[in-house]
Amino acid sequence: MADAEISFDGLANQIVAAGGTVGPGELHGFICGLLTTGARPDKARWQKEIAEFLDLDAIPADLARDTLQLTERSLQALSSNDFSFQPLLAGSDDLVERGQSLCLWCEGFLHGFGIGKYSGELLPTSSEAMKDLAEIARLDADQMENTGEQEAELFEVQEYVRMAVLNIFIECRGKQDTSGGSTSGPTLH
């Protein structure tokens, strides 16, 4: 998977094979939450960080490589002016599975943002978006039905999450850039 696009299912298979307890959506959310706070991966410490989040004693080399690659690609997409960032979510035809994937992604994002210990104060719009992400993380996706209406609603919520995260990232990055501090931010720990 080194040079190919990292897929939800491929990453899920690697995590399961390693004995990890967290899915790929939640892991990607965690990574994005950390990146949003200004944390940047320190390659020497990355294996330890991911292993701890996945509740593993050690992380296989291929999983470590692919999560670091996912982190670098996520940072690039979040930083890009083309709004290309997309949460890594299940691509299933099952609406419930996709809904659960989005809820877990939001949970991971909030966890990563908390671990990253952002020291600034969020603007009211970003603060409200964080509350919305917390509400989405608590949704019961099992109640969803495969209808066109709920499909459209899930798409709208997914798009809201994507744009909210981009806005929060931009706001946090802007405050880091204007605070006179380093834009590299803290390392993961």
Q: What is the CATH number of the domain that holds 155?
A: 1.20.120.740
- Residue 175 CA, distance from chain mean position: 21
Return left, alpha or beta for 18; rule: phi > 0 is left, psi -120 to 50 is alpha, else beta: alpha
Domain-embedded: residue 57: yes
d(Cα 122, Cα 156) in Å, to the nearest integer?
Answer: 24
137 touches 107 (CB < 8 A): yes
- pLDDT, residue 181, reads 40
pLDDT band at 134 (very low <50, low <70, confident <90, very high): very high
Domain-embedded: residue 183: no
Domain-embedded: residue 75: yes
Domain-embedded: residue 87: yes
Confidence (pTM): 0.88
In this predicted structure, the answer to whether residue 24 has a pLDDT above a threshold of 70 is yes
Domain-embedded: residue 2: no
Alpha-carbon separation of residue 4 from 10, 69, 82 (angstroms): 11, 10, 21
Return the bridge partners of 113, or none.
none
Q: Which residue has the tokens 């599975």?
A: 97
DSSP state letters, the chain: --SSPPPHHHHHHHHHHHT-SS-HHHHHHHHHHHHHTT-B--HHHHHHHHHHHHT-SS--HHHHHHHHHHHHHHHHHHH-TT----------S-HHHHHHHHHHHHHHHHHHHHHHT--S---HHHHHHHHHHHHHHT--GGG--S-HHHHHHHHHHHHHHHHHHHHHHHHHHHHHHHTTS-TT-PBP-
What sign does the CA torsion over 52, 54, 60, 61 have? negative
* Total count of domains within the chain: 1
Domain of residue 157: give its range. Answer: 8-177
Helices 148-178, 24-36: inter-axial angle, 10-degree rounding = 30
Domain-embedded: residue 184: no
Each residue of 155-178: pLDDT tens digit? 999 999 999 999 999 999 876 654
Domain-embedded: residue 144: yes
Q: How high is the mean pLDDT of the chain?
A: 86
Each residue of 84-109: pLDDT tens digit? 999 999 998 889 999 999 999 999 99
